[in-house]
Structure 1
Amino acid sequence: MAKVRGAGATIRRLLKGLLIGLLIVGLVGPVVVVGVYRFVPPPLTWLMVQRVFEGRGFDRRWVPLERISPTLTRAVIAAEDARFCEHHGFDFEAMRKAFAANQRGGKVRGGSTISQQTAKNVFLWPHRDYVRKGLEAWFTVLIEAMWGKPRIMEVYLNSIEWGPGVYGAEAAARKNFGVPAAQLKPAQAARLAAILPKPLSWKAGRPGPYVKRRSGAINANARVVRREGLSACVLRSSVS
Structure 2
Amino acid sequence: MKILWRASASIIKWLLLILLAYQLWIFAHVLLWKWVNPAETSFMDIRLEELREKNPNAKLKHEWVDYPKISTHLKRAVVASEDDRFMDHHGFDFRGIEYALKKNERRGKSVAGGSSITQQLAKNLFLSPSRSYLRKAEEAVIALMIELVWDKRRILEVYLNVVEWGNGVFGVEAAARHYYQVSAAQIGPSAAARMAVMLPNPRKYEKTMPAWVVRHASRVQARMHRSQIP
TM-score band, normalised by shorter chain = 0.7 to 0.9
The TM-score, its normalising length taken from structure 2, stands at: 0.87
Q: Secondary structure at the match of 2:107?
A: coil
Encode CA deviations 1:128-168: one digit per residue, 9 max, x unaligned. Answer: 11111111000000000101111110111011111111000
Deviating above 4 A after TM superposition, structure 1's stretches of 4 or more consecutive aligned residues are 7-17
Q: Secondary structure at the match of 1:201?
A: helix
Q: Is 1:139 aligned to residue 142 of structure 2? A: yes
Q: Identify if the C-alpha distance between structure 1 residues 66 and 13 changes in structure 2 by more than 3 Å, giving closer, same or farther.
A: same
Encode CA deviations 1:22-68: one digit per residue, 9 max, x unaligned. Answer: 24313322221210111122232222222223227410001111111
5+ residue gaps, structure 2, are 52-57
Residue of structure 2 equivalent to 1:39: 35
- Choose from 57, 72, 75 the match for 2:74: 72
Percent identity reads 40
Amino acid in structure 2 at the alignment position of 1:221: R
Counterpart CA distance in 1 for 2:5 and 2:106 is 54
Counterpart CA distance in 1 for 2:94 and 2:22 is 26
Counterpart CA distance in 1 for 2:128 and 2:152 is 23
Q: Is 1:51 aligned to residue 47 of structure 2? A: yes
Matches within 5 A, 1:186-197: 186-197=189-200
Task: Tell me which protein shows more helix as a share of its residues.
Answer: 2
CA contact (8 A) 1:166 1:172 kept: yes
Paired residues, number:
223
Range 77-86 or range 47-56, more displaced: 47-56
Encode CA deviations 1:213-240: one digit per residue, 9 max, x unaligned. Answer: 2221111111222xxxx22xx1xxxxxx
CA contact (8 A) 1:57 1:164 kept: no
Give the number of the structure with larger relative contact order, counting CA–CA contacts within 8 Å between residues 6 or more apart: 2
5+ residue gaps, structure 1, are 235-240
Q: Secondary structure at the match of 2:204?
A: coil
The TM-score, its normalising length taken from structure 1, stands at: 0.84
Please tell me whether Structure 1 or Structure 2 has the larger radius of gyration of its CA atoms.
Answer: 1
